Structure 1
Amino acid sequence: MANTQGNGPVSPRNRLRAALGQGDGAPTVMERVRRRYIKTGRDDDLKDKFDALLTDLCERPAPDNPEEEEQELREAGMLLVLGVSGAGKTRSLARLFERHPVLQAARTGPDGLVLSMTAPSPCGVKELGRAILLATGYAVLRDRVTGPEIWSTVRARLQALGVLVLHIDEAQHATQIRDAVERQKLRNSLKALMVDGEHPVALILSGLPVVADFVLADRQLSRRASWYEFRSVGLPADTTMLTKALTSFAELAGMSVSEGEMLRILPRLVHAGDHRMGVIVEEMHDAIRSALADKAEKLEIRHFETAFAKRTGNARQWNPYSRSDYRAVDVWRMLQVKHLTPPPVTKSKKARDTMTRNVEEGYQQ
């Protein structure tokens, strides 16, 4: 017998929320914090790239001759959005599709202008084709179906739904195909979407930088592509943005951050997040959760230290929020404890003085 609430079934997640005492539907403090999006200059740059993709897709080959236009549609283009893991690509694109003024009237998804999905792993020709169809609400149940049959159905399905832009996230899965012939078949399948004579579809591939190698291996594909890279976050260039972000999160949680604490937190935060915006935001969220558990009115560096220790299992000498020479800590090491050799401590007084001066004078990298 299905669990129901009101007139509909209760999802496993809602049952868990109820068990945790969060079943009244009101957003929790952390839900409000995590929902807050930190807009940066790269969001504007990404929108410009997306606008160019849409404009190119809509330009008519024969604006003065509608009959000729119907016979010859313009080929679609491709946008590659690249960056290291945790750079924030996926959430930035999701927000772009959700907030873009052109797309607001047409919902993204199976019946919208943009279809966003995640590449499967493994990501062969059949696997990707099936995943695209599933994202449109169409499941391929037959086992004995060829790649050409699947992709023919993909093109027909996208045309029937009016999808003009296909976004494939985690596109680096395609680079894991060892067979060169299979990789080229996958490239050809993507090209076929872009040059379809009846319904060309523009592509957005987002993923790790290695996706560039997959595209550059085919000149016909790469010449249709434009590129955007999510660059690293750094200080002092991003000091203002990070200060506003941390202040905004803290205020949502009913806390404040003093100027002195901000000076201590930011350089260590950027290092702990390995200069990756998505990871840095997660560090902020974890610290606020720790402060909420502490019933603190002020967000302090000790909350970042506690959150980092809980997440990594590391002892203090492996915690960038605990050490003065925080740059010596490898933030990707996990479960580092006291009996293991810690990172080297800067022994030179001149080096220690220089580091202290850099932090105090404006978060120099």
Structure 2
Amino acid sequence: MPQSQDGEIFRPDVTILPGPQAAPVRRERFAIRLSPQDLERRAWKRRVDTIHVNTDVVIKTVARFDEMLRDLGDDVEGQCLVIPAASGAGKSHLLARLQLRPALVPFRDEFGPVRPLVYIKAPSPCTLKTLGLALYLAMTEKELSANLKEHDIWTRVRHQMHAQLVSIIMIDEFHHAFRGRTGDERRTLVETLKNLVIPDPNDPLRPPGAELRPVSLVLSGMPWLKKVLKEDFQLLRRCVFKPIKPLGHSEACVKKATKFLSLVEARLGFPAACGLSEHDMVQRMLKASNGYTGRMMHLVKKAAFRAIQSGKPSIEQVDHLGFVFEEIFELGPRRNPFLVVDISTLPKMKEIEFERLTRLTGTAEAGVETQADDA
């Protein structure tokens, strides 16, 4: 088995990626010649794709995360920030916003890389072994052999965490640790994470001579994520939960949805009004998203892409929003919130139907909870 310079074992069957100078030449072989109009539309779509609007949950979660960062140097124990939410609600996008904090930018000094934060998506299935492999890859860009034992993998992981001064581990889709796992496997996994948050002098995985420095966790996943954390009460009581909750149909919720859609429309750049913040459209958006602004943002952006590509001056309810919704969910005109005549007669969608949104587009894209400058 090949070894790297530091003696770590890694997979020999990983494809070697070409250097940056080779990429344009390789793309040239299948590139489509774009007209000036196509290039303008592409730039417009990219601007739309970067639209972010702060919501209450984003503001509060960012504030709590910043508090966690300030406490890193003082606490003898770490903390665990937990973001539970339904499919497509915006968990992954919110994690991406948290990673933009200036204090978390990795760098290299004379001793090697310094990585304050390590981010991964929990593998599926998520066992202690597969989680260790994913963390090692994120820290070193090398794949360890899957034939290694759990203890050997985590010995290497903990060595890298100590050497790179890792202070925060961020794990998206952590609910994978619950699906299909036995109770013993879940308990072992959660206990290993707890030993990062609450350093144990007798932890056999701690590198010799390593300081007792706590690591904080940020975990996101489906609402049943809490069931995984209940496997260890000591870790659970150090958790701070910041769930992404849906908007209802109360006057206050409708007002929030209206403001959100108004801010989004103002940044789309269409010459004509789209009417996203009109009362009837707000009711349709609430039904189409089950109240999650992340899902609203996803639908609006996909509809905007379609409108831009077809050269329309605004987003149209039937041709763009109705088409995008039907393409994803395939519910037919009688259950499509943008195609029915009277939205008040349409029953609420079941949450399980929104899992299709995640499967088709990926959690990170489907969940577009947002951030920018003013909500």
Q: Please say whether Structure 1 and Structure 2 have the same fold, judged by a TM-score greater than 0.5.
A: yes
Conservation of the 8 A alpha-carbon contact between 2:88 and 2:295: yes
| 1:307 and 2:321 aligned | no
Under a length normalisation based on structure 1, what TM-score does the superposition of the two structures give? 0.75
The CA distance in 1 between the partners of 2:178 and 2:172, in whole Å, is 13
What's the Cα RMSD here? 3.2
How far off its partner does 1:16 sit?
9.5
- 1:127 pairs with 126, 130, 154, which one? 130
The CA distance in 2 between the partners of 1:22 and 1:5, in whole Å, is 28
The CA distance in 2 between the partners of 1:17 and 1:166, in whole Å, is 39
Partner-residue secondary structure (3-state), 1:37:
coil
Q: Deviations over 1:216-261 (max 9, x none)?
A: 231111122111111113432413432333313432x4443348x7
- 2:187 pairs with 172, 184, 189, which one? 184
Q: Which amino acid aligns with 2:243?
A: E
Question: Cα gap change, 1:236/1:143 in structure 2, threshold over 3 Å: closer, same or farther?
Answer: closer
Partner of 1:239: 257
Partner of 2:266: 248
| 1:36 and 2:39 aligned | no
Conservation of the 8 A alpha-carbon contact between 1:124 and 1:177: no
Q: Deviations over 1:314-346 (max 9, x none)?
A: 432222112234352565669xxxxxxxxxxxx
Alignment of 1:239-318 (within 5 A): 239-251=257-269, 253-258=270-275, 262-302=278-318, 303-318=320-335
Conservation of the 8 A alpha-carbon contact between 2:82 and 2:241: yes
Aligned residues: 314
| 1:214 and 2:228 aligned | yes
The CA distance in 1 between the partners of 2:181 and 2:17, in whole Å, is 45
How far off its partner does 1:90 sit?
1.0
Conservation of the 8 A alpha-carbon contact between 2:48 and 2:267: yes
- 1:200 pairs with 201, 210, 214, which one? 214
% identical aligned pairs: 26
The CA distance in 1 between the partners of 2:35 and 2:286, in whole Å, is 33
How far off its partner does 1:46 sit?
0.5
Under a length normalisation based on structure 2, what TM-score does the superposition of the two structures give? 0.74
- 2:61 pairs with 28, 36, 46, which one? 46
Higher Rg: 1
How far off its partner does 1:17 sit?
8.6
Partner-residue secondary structure (3-state), 1:178:
coil
How far off its partner does 1:291 sit?
2.1
